[in-house]
Amino acid sequence: MLSINNLHANIEGKKILNGINLEVGTGEVHAIMGPNGSGKSTLASVLAGRDNYEVTEGSITYRDQDLMEMDPEIRAREGVFLAFQYPVEIPGVTNMYLLKAAINAVKKHRGLDELDAREFLKLIKEKAAMVEMKQEFLYRSVNEGFSGGEKKRNEILQMALLEPYLSILDETDSGLDIDALKIVAKGVNLIRSQERSMILVTHYQRLLDYIVPDYVHVLAGGKIIRSGGKELALELEEKGYGWIDELAAA
Amino acid sequence: MTNIIDHYVDQHIADTAHNSEVMPAWLVQQKQSAIEQFKSCGFPTLRDEDWRYTSLKSVVSKFFEVKVTETTASVDLEPFLLEDLDCYRLVFIDGRFSLQDSTMPQSVEGCDISALGSMSLIELEQAPPALTKGGTVSNGFSALNVAFSKDGYVVQIADQTQLDKPIEILFVSASDNVAAQPRSIVQMGRFAEAVLIERHVSVQGLTALSNSTCQIELNENSKLDFYLVESMDSAATQIHSLDAELAKNSTLSCRTLTLGGGLVRNNLKVSLNGEGAHCDMFGLYNTAGKQHVDNHTNVIHAAPHCTSNELYKGVLDQRSRAVFHGRINVEQDAQKTDAIQTNNNLLLSANAEIDTKPQLEIYADDVKCAHGATVGQIDEASLFYLRTRGIAEADARSLLTFAFVNDVMERVDIEALKDSVSAELAAKLIDEKVDLRSEA
């Protein structure tokens, strides 16, 4: 699905990623953990195509294509989805409008028929129920005045609608209380399948109680310094990120 | 070579010789004093505080012809009509009324809609005071308008009368190098209600000047929805002055939607004279190329418990320029005034320029007055967010631009009009992109 080789990236001349290597197979869920400033969110942004990062070395192959050659919208249509840590509020654009434009952009790209109003409404109601989102939120401006939990739920709704092959969830658990976290995790687990891969970027082990990963990677100083199974997350929780600093220094 | 002042004064002499017999003496007198005033003040210059951001060089250097005869140019109106707009329609070509192109209401009780140029001497004698008392002459343009105006719409709605359909007034500039000078009057009786749409268009490529004025009088508890839609070609110049007087508990809602015109200046003056009067002023301007759009608004709170709500939004691209000057006066007696003024601008190009200037003069002590102005660009974070949802960059930009003007567009309550303005805006945003590409 995804193959990252020796990825180096700068932001405004400052080195953030220092040679990331990561293989994500189809159907796998990978968690990337690490302390603040380790480069987790940068990695997520680079995968989605944000242009304020400069990739200086390395390559990213996604479904046998060079991901770096694609604009963000092409990545999205090819099945890459980023759930934002801080979803953007867009006053004046209704959630419905965005969702419909998004799904039809994806369908058109894949040579499929676009959904008409009725088909779309049926689909969106089904997906909204899946993430327990009240319908009134569909008719409001994108994320405007949404609580933290509602914004994250809206991200998962978009993900459920677009059915991406590769989902990157950037600190989706941050700022959520336990009830909101459970709803979000439930949505993610419903989308999880043999055909879809996921990367969960998180600071805390807590999320992984609800979305159990196949692999856990520890990121520090812009490099993956340790990889393992889900038990690595527990070890990290127990020993704290200080342990990571020791590992990194060694 | 004659100078520009003499050019107009000479035309006025010819005009008076030709027309004075068919005008009442007071009107001849009114026009005479207006041209005298023009002679002494001339056109505004950058030294005038109210015009300091708007250079009139391109207008005052041209010797426009003011039509003295009644013949109207033949023009294909089809491209200018709004198909789905169910309305009464008055069409003016080069400032002169064209009955054959108009759809007048047939005997709607309490509603008198006519053209100034078609009024008989007797009718003129009974004309609304806004006409007979001489209009407001505040600068060279309004002086020229009073001096030369022969036509315009006159709408009088009787007490308790509600008009069943909007009235559309279509001003078409169809002759090269002609200055149209329509002067219009609206008088709303007590508890009367009406919707009025002024649309200004011009035939492509014509160097035309439209110098129009409109005086509106709202009596107690009356309500007027007024739309000004400016879609002239970029070779044309438009000067528009609207002056409204509001009596007790009356409501005026103005929407000024400016998409076209090379140089556009709108003077909007609203006087809240009676307790409980309210006015909304919503504006939208989208400029590109070398367009210059200047909105000058002035709300005068002269009575207690009046409210005014003003919101103007601008989208500027390429080398265009816009000016927003919003003045609020609160007079000493106008206690409990509630006035809001906002001007937000979106710059799509580094070469575009906006000059925005709020101005508050408050002489009462128990009032609520808020104002704010912003200038910004397309938000990169929002743009990226939309792109990660599969929306192409160009579409995302235009979506965010539409989102920016959405709160003004929402105030356009007539669907056919909203659709046409949206379409015009969309076409313009696409054109701008094409132009950018060819520039690159």
Q: Is A228 helix (H, G, I), strand (E, B) or coil?
A: strand
3-state SS, chain B, equals CCCHHHHHHHHHHHHHHHHHHHCCHHHHHHHHHHHHHHHHHCCCCCCCHHHCCCCCHHHHCCCCECCCCCCCCCCCCHHHCCCCCCCEEEEEECCEECHHHCECCCCCCCEEEEEHHHCCHHHHHCCCHHHHCCCCCCCHHHHHHHHHCCCCEEEEECCCCECCCCEEEEEEECCCCEEECCEEEEEECCCCEEEEEEEEEECCCCCCEEEEEEEEEECCCCEEEEEEEEECCCCCEEEEEEEEEECCCCEEEEEEEECCCCEEEEEEEEEECCCCCEEEEEEEEEECCCCEEEEEEEEEECCCCCEEEEEEEEEECCCCEEEEEEEEEECCCCCCCEEEEEEEEEECCCCCEEEEEEEEEECCCCCEEEEEEEEECCCHHHHHHHHCCCCCHHHHHHHHHHHHHHHHHCCCCCHHHHHHHHHHHHHHHHHHHHHHHHHC
Q: What is the pLDDT of residues A139-152, one digit of tens each?
A: 999 999 998 889 99
Four-point Cα dihedral B389, B391, B393, B397, nearest 10: -100
Interchain CB distance below 8 Å, A76 and B402: no
ipTM over 0.85? The verdict is: yes
Residue B437's pLDDT is 41
Interchain CB distance below 8 Å, B404 and A82: no
Residue B19's pLDDT is 77
Average pLDDT over residues B211-217: 96
Does any domain span residue B339? yes
Percent above pLDDT 90 for chain A: 67
The strand pairing partners of B223, in sequence order, are B193, B251
Residue A96's pLDDT is 92
Q: With contacts defined as CB-CB under 8 Å, which chain B residues touch A90?
A: 382, 385-386, 400, 403
B438 has a pLDDT exceeding 50: no
Residue B68's pLDDT is 56
**pLDDT grade, residue B440 (50/70/90)?**
very low
Substitution target in B380, B388, B405 with the highest count of A β-carbons within 10 Å is B388
CA distance A187 to A184: 5
Q: Is A153 helix (H, G, I), strand (E, B) or coil?
A: helix
- The CATH-assigned architecture of domain A2-249 is 3-Layer(aba) Sandwich (3.40)
Interchain CB distance below 8 Å, A49 and B391: no
Does any domain span residue B419? no
Number of separate domains in chain B: 1
CA distance B379 to B22: 60
Closest by CA position to A154, among listed A175, A177, A174, A130: A130
The ranges assigned to domains in chain A are: 2-249
Minimum-distance CB partner of A105 among B390, B400, B403: B390
For B408, which residue in chain A has the nearest alpha carbon? A92
Supply the range of the domain harboring residue B284. 4-378
Q: What are the backbone angles phi and psi of residue A207, rounded to the nearest 5°?
A: -60, -35
B64 to chain A, any CB pair closer than 8 A? The answer is no
Q: Is A92 helix (H, G, I), strand (E, B) or coil?
A: strand
Minimum-distance CB partner of A76 among B380, B390, B407: B390
CA distance B207 to B306: 42
**pLDDT grade, residue B433 (50/70/90)?**
low
Interchain CB distance below 8 Å, B399 and A71: no
Q: What is the pLDDT of residues A235-249, one digit of tens each?
A: 888 888 777 777 766
**pLDDT grade, residue B439 (50/70/90)?**
very low
For residue B158, give both structure tokens: 């009787």
Q: What is the pLDDT of residues B265-324, one digit of tens each?
A: 999 999 999 999 999 999 999 999 999 999 999 999 999 999 999 999 999 999 999 999
Instruction: Provide the 10 A C-beta neighbour count for residue B193.
Output: 17
Interchain CB distance below 8 Å, B390 and A91: no
For A92, which residue in chain B has the nearest alpha carbon? B403
B177 has a pLDDT exceeding 70: yes
CA distance B418 to B8: 39
Q: What is the pLDDT of residues B138-160, one digit of tens each?
A: 899 999 999 999 899 999 999 99
Interchain CB distance below 8 Å, B393 and A93: no
Q: Are B140 and B27 in contact (CB under 8 A)?
A: no
Residue B70's pLDDT is 62
Minimum-distance CB partner of A92 among B384, B389, B403: B403
B25 to chain A, any CB pair closer than 8 A? The answer is no
Q: Are A44 and A170 in contact (CB under 8 A)?
A: yes
**pLDDT grade, residue A38 (50/70/90)?**
confident
Average pLDDT over residues B59-81: 80
Average pLDDT over residues B215-225: 97
Does any domain span residue B320? yes
Q: With contacts defined as CB-CB under 8 Å, which chain B residues touch A49?
A: 387-388
| Chain A residues near any Cβ of chain B (below 8 Å) | 48-52, 71-73, 75-77, 81-82, 84, 87-88, 90-93, 98, 101-102, 105-106, 109, 141, 158, 162
Q: How far is B387 from chain A (nearest CA, A)?
A: 5
B11 has a pLDDT exceeding 60: yes
Average pLDDT over residues B363-381: 95
Residue B20's pLDDT is 74
Q: What is the pLDDT of residues B111-140, one digit of tens each?
A: 999 999 888 888 888 888 888 876 667 899
Substitution target in B382, B389, B404, B408 with the highest count of A β-carbons within 10 Å is B389
Q: Amino acid identity, residue B14?
A: A
CA distance B393 to A210: 36
Q: How far is A103 from chain B (nearest CA, A)?
A: 8
Substitution target in A53, A84, A88, A169 with the highest count of B β-carbons within 10 Å is A88
In Å, what is the CA distance from A37 to each residue of A41, A171, B236?
9, 13, 57
Residue B432's pLDDT is 59
Q: In b/e form, how buried is each residue of B240-254, taking b as 16+ CB within 10 angstroms?
A: bbbbbbbbbbbbbbb
Q: With contacts defined as CB-CB under 8 Å, which chain B residues touch A98?
A: 386, 389, 391
Q: How far is A43 from chain B (nearest CA, A)?
A: 15
CA distance B12 to B34: 10
Interchain CB distance below 8 Å, A77 and B390: yes
What is the overall mean pLDDT for chain B?
A: 91
Residue A69's pLDDT is 93
Q: How far is A65 from chain B (nearest CA, A)?
A: 17
Q: With contacts defined as CB-CB under 8 Å, which chain B residues touch A73?
A: 387-388, 390-393, 396
**pLDDT grade, residue B69 (50/70/90)?**
low
Q: What is the pLDDT of residues A222-234, one digit of tens each?
A: 999 889 998 888 8
Does any domain span residue B430? no
B407 to chain A, any CB pair closer than 8 A? The answer is yes
- Contact residues for A82 (Cβ-Cβ < 8 A; gap 6+): A44, A45, A47, A48, A167, A168, A170, B388
Q: With contacts defined as CB-CB under 8 Å, which chain A residues touch B384?
A: 48, 50-51, 72
Residue A80's pLDDT is 96
Q: Amino acid identity, residue B379?
A: D
Burial of B59 (0-12, 13-18, 19+ CB in 10 A): buried
Q: How far is B319 from chain A (nearest CA, A)?
A: 26
CA distance B342 to B394: 28
Q: Are B401 and B378 in contact (CB under 8 A)?
A: yes
B379 to chain A, any CB pair closer than 8 A? The answer is yes
B392 to chain A, any CB pair closer than 8 A? The answer is yes
B141 to chain A, any CB pair closer than 8 A? The answer is no
Average pLDDT over residues A51-60: 91
Interchain CB distance below 8 Å, A50 and B386: no
Substitution target in A93, A109, A110, A151 with the highest count of B β-carbons within 10 Å is A93
B71 has a pLDDT exceeding 80: no
B436 has a pLDDT exceeding 50: no
Minimum-distance CB partner of A84 among B385, B400, B402: B385
- Contact residues for A116 (Cβ-Cβ < 8 A; gap 6+): none
Q: With contacts defined as CB-CB under 8 Å, which chain A residues touch B388?
A: 48-49, 72-73, 75-76, 81-82
Average pLDDT over residues B69-89: 83
Residue B14's pLDDT is 86
Q: With contacts defined as CB-CB under 8 Å, which chain A residues touch B381?
A: 88
Greatest Cα pair distance, chain A, in angstroms, is 60
Q: Are B309 and B281 in contact (CB under 8 A)?
A: yes
Residue A203's pLDDT is 85
Q: What is the pLDDT of residues A170-206, one digit of tens each?
A: 998 888 888 888 888 988 898 899 999 999 999 888 8
B386 to chain A, any CB pair closer than 8 A? The answer is yes
Average pLDDT over residues A44-54: 91
Percent above pLDDT 70 for chain B: 95
